[in-house]
A and B are shown apart, each in its own frame.
Chain A
Amino acid sequence: MNRKQLITAFLKFLPEEAVLYEVEDLRPYECDALSAYRQLPMIVVLPRTEAEIATILQVCHAGQVPVVARGSGTGLAGGALPHAEGVLLSLARLNRILDIDPAACSARVQPGVRNLAISEAAASYGMYYAPDPSSQIACSIGGNVAENSGGVHCLKYGLTVHNILRLRVLTIEGDVLEIGADALDSPGFDLLALMTGSEGMLGIVTEITVKLLPKPETVKLVMAVFDDISKAGDAVANVIQAGIIPAGMEMMDKITIHAVEDFVHAGYDLEGAAILLCESDGMAEEVADEIKQIQTILQASGAVRISLARDEAERQLFWAGRKAAFPAAGRVSPDYYCMDGTIPRKHLAHVLEQIEQLSAEYGLRCMNVFHAGDGNLHPLILYDANQPGELEKAEAFGARILEICIQSGGSLTGEHGVGIEKLNQMCLQFNDAERDLFHAVKAAFDPQSLLNPGKAIPELHRCAEFGAMHVHQGAEKFPDIPRF
């Protein structure tokens, strides 16, 4: 089916303004937040209803046209990069909260609803939606499902997969799948888990039922400064070993502390080698006890300074620095390359040591921010693409970091997804048979590989290559969204 035929077919059931095909109209859709990769789609469609989506899929299936779904376009891995011969299916207009059921602690929403909008709507019932990816003011819940998004509170409250009950999914073949249930489980295979994090490769989610949690009564934040990053790593282990699951636990290394303090003036100790932020939430009495316990453990673990945020304003200030780490990297360096590896926490000191050695070897600085509670490391390699050879060095450096993460028993991506960006590294983490099975899973849902083809799982031939791409300063869209 050619472009003209497709446009005609779409205009039969979509209003003119919902079918974009002129280059200037397509331009805003050429990339997601990983703008190093750009590709104009053939056509963009902007449906408002599930019925319209169903017809779009029917047309594309009949014409064997690739379909790439897109939510808010805040993804960091190029998962929503358009297909040159394909249709970009924007779900942004399906942005209604259909129902909030405070009695059942759930909300039924359309995929284009913003993550934060759910919590805002639930607030009047004293409830909220727990996963809080850093881009939550802009990112859509449909995109969260596609990436299995986390946030700073996921050690205690889980990822998207733990916080959704039900999905309504359209397959490219025209079936409606009701996956999950209003009950806590459903018969058959756990397709809810399979769909979550599947990066738009298996089906188009048209409706999502999310779990809501009662808002904690009290939230307190402790900041601890360490003169040695391995002590900070041990402190994290000690807190957990003491039987505490903090609501959030975040770490920054020295270079990050300096970069963000210059930027947000959070009052961080510039002498520190590492700063650990540790949050507790729950009932007032419980939080008071837990904070006391945490302070004792941090002290015993060798913290040189421990501060408890006096009030909500100071709590926000302590967090502000951590949340500004990515923009701060952009301020201190012309370019930075963000990695998203996960490691077992016990290897933190060793991994950081190796990163430091590599940093010296490649002559490039590297800031490390760490979701310490769940072992998700974001090394930000600082470089200048205008210096000949630096880009290649940063690439090689990043590749080595990912190898270290995989070797230490971790994963190449904790929360950003594979998308188009990390396809090559997938070859390291999975062998031929495992990737083969991933393709087989896709084939069970999408036998002709029309949904988001070429993403998330590399083809065998691709695994001969190894490379990585970079995020350039100013090239990232939504620069005003906090990234952590």
Chain B
Amino acid sequence: MQDQAILDQLIQAVTAAAEHKQALCIRGSGSKDFYGNPQALQLPALNTATWQGIVDYEPSELVVTARAGTPLAELEKLLHDHGQMLAFEPPYFNASATLGGCIAAGLSGPRRAYTGAVRDYVLGIKLLDGQGRILSFGGRVMKNVAGYDVSRLMAGAMGTLGVLLEVSLKVLPRPAVERTLCIQTDMLQAIETMRRCAAEPLPVSATCFHENQLYVRLSGAESAVRTAHARLGGDQIKDKESHEENLWESIRNHTHPFFQQGKLNGKSLWRLSVKSTTSPLSLPGEQLIEWGGALRWLVTDKDTDAAVIRTHAADAGGHATLFHGNKTITPVFHPLSPALLKIHQRLKQQFDPTGILNPQRLYTEF
């Protein structure tokens, strides 16, 4: 199909849906169907995967623009071929993941605590609002303070504010050298070591603690990595022995046995985003820590009281998301304060007056 025809079809679908108040489930490849409240998945799908292609890429500008249906793998391969990367290391969960889903879900991978999140790299966005209007915000430049930052607002909005059509992202050069260290330690000490890593100007690009092993990835110039290794100590993990890349990939995409376990029947996988210095959380189950202590993954029995988990997260300055598990007994995302919920509902009303875009995917209230 011609490009224009694909776009027209998307516009028509949204316009018709608005007219008939027939809500839609925006869907790229479906790699993140599991994520968010499941109600929207019952709705007719608005398929965005066909709206794909790289629109513009100039490596020396550090900016790439692509259509939302572009497979993330295709985008990352292009960047890789030019020695660049998406610095937020987005999880795929499935090889077919699209750029649109990556932005809408707003999830970032192991590098997040050190180089920033998806939203930090969003420069511009073209979207269809709930009335089927094509709107552009931001741009393809690093600095832009014209108008409200609607582009970044789309990151993590789970498609509730618009159908993403095109995204411009800042990209970064890939580090010259990467090295992963492994330090034997307990959870308390690991959190302290991660804290120390953050407070010193070291080229740390990822941290993970699991089963009394603290993994620290160093990225940067050869000299910087070497010096940092000497300062931190620990054993370098050799590629051959334990598939260094695979360790971080498996954490990023949840193929690591820890995460696999959380997807089993009778188990839940919770994501607790907390203040990095939070002491070990005493919750039933097994934990894996990332992001210098700021991200605590919990695999627990599906019957573990969600309220208890959420209270622990809130007390630690953060929030808890039910990643995998029984979503019929508790909402996926941490409840908002009444004041914030009011703003969310109003924004939703403005972007999507008839409430047709991914209703309830983020919060059941809208």
Contacts and interface: CB of A to CB of B under 8 A. Distances in A.
Contacts of A438: 147-148, 150
A343 B149 CA distance: 18
25 contacts: A102-B199, A105-B276, A159-B143, A162-B120, A184-B273, A187-B334, A188-B156, A188-B333, A191-B340, A193-B119, A214-B198, A214-B200, A240-B59, A240-B60, A243-B83, A245-B172, A283-B224, A286-B220, A342-B142, A343-B141, A411-B139, A418-B145, A433-B133, A438-B148, A440-B351
Interface stretch (B11-19, B242-250, B316-324): B316-324
A475 B3 CA distance: 53
Contacts of B147: 418, 426, 429-430, 434-435, 438, 456-457
Interface string B189-208: 00000010011111100000
B136 interface: yes
A196 interface: yes
Contact of A344 (B61, B152, B228): B61
Interface in A167-210: 171, 175-179, 181-191, 193-194, 196-198, 201-202
A473 to B, nearest CB: 26
B168 to A, nearest CB: 10
A105 B199 contact: yes
Given A181-B273, A342-B141, A241 B60 contact: yes
Contacts of B117: 184-185
B285 to A, nearest CB: 20
B319 A186 contact: yes
Contact of B319 (A147, A179, A181, A285): A181
B24 to A, nearest CB: 19
A216 interface: yes
B141 A127 contact: no
Interface string B109-134: 00011001101100000000100010
Given A181-B318, A283-B203, A411-B144, 19 more contacts: A148-B149, A161-B120, A175-B339, A183-B316, A188-B336, A188-B362, A190-B152, A190-B155, A194-B152, A197-B148, A240-B60, A283-B201, A288-B223, A373-B142, A414-B141, A415-B143, A417-B145, A443-B346, A445-B343
A295 interface: no
Contact of B317 (A147, A176, A183, A240): A183
B163 to A, nearest CB: 14
Contacts of B228: 283
Contacts of A240: 59-62, 173
A346 interface: yes
Contacts of B83: 243
A253 interface: no
B191 to A, nearest CB: 10
A154 interface: yes
Contacts of B336: 187-188
A409 interface: yes
B153 A148 contact: no
A158 interface: yes
B314 to A, nearest CB: 10
A438 B135 CA distance: 11
A184 B61 contact: no
B164 interface: no
Interface string B141-181: 11111111110110111000100000000001110100000
A444 interface: yes
A429 B63 contact: no
Nearest to B151: A193
B291 interface: yes
B276 A104 contact: yes
Given A182-B317, A186-B319, A410-B141, A194 B153 contact: yes
A198 B336 CA distance: 22
A104 B63 CA distance: 31
Interface in A404-453: 409-418, 422, 426, 429-430, 433-435, 437-438, 440-445
Given A183-B317, A184-B291, A193 B333 contact: no
A54 to B, nearest CB: 13
Contacts of B333: 187-188
Nearest to A174: B339
B160 to A, nearest CB: 8
Contacts of B337: 177-178
A177 B341 CA distance: 10
B113 to A, nearest CB: 6
Nearest to A240: B60
A443 B353 CA distance: 14
B152 A188 contact: no
Contacts of B62: 240
Interface in A362-402: 371, 373-376
Interface in A339-373: 342-346, 371, 373
A101 B199 CA distance: 11
B173 A214 contact: no
A418 to B, nearest CB: 6
Contact of A189 (B61, B135, B347): B347
B142 A155 contact: yes
B269 interface: no
A68 to B, nearest CB: 18
A345 B221 contact: no
Interface string A293-309: 00000000000000000
A442 to B, nearest CB: 8
A154 to B, nearest CB: 7
A193 B172 contact: no
A283 to B, nearest CB: 5
Contact of A414 (B144, B222, B316): B144
Contacts of B294: 183-184
Contacts of A443: 346, 350
A217 B203 CA distance: 12
Given A183-B273, A241-B59, A416 B201 contact: no
Interface in A36-76: none
Contacts of B275: 104, 181-183
A230 interface: no
Contacts of B142: 154-155, 342, 373-376
B316 to A, nearest CB: 8
B227 A345 contact: no
B201 A197 contact: no
B135 A375 contact: no
Interface string A207-227: 000000111110000000000
A412 B318 contact: no
Contacts of A216: 201
Given A188-B362, A444-B350, A193 B143 contact: no
A142 B136 CA distance: 28
A190 B129 CA distance: 17
A165 B335 CA distance: 19
A272 B222 CA distance: 35
Contacts of A374: 141-143
Interface string A221-265: 000000000000000011011011100000000000000000000
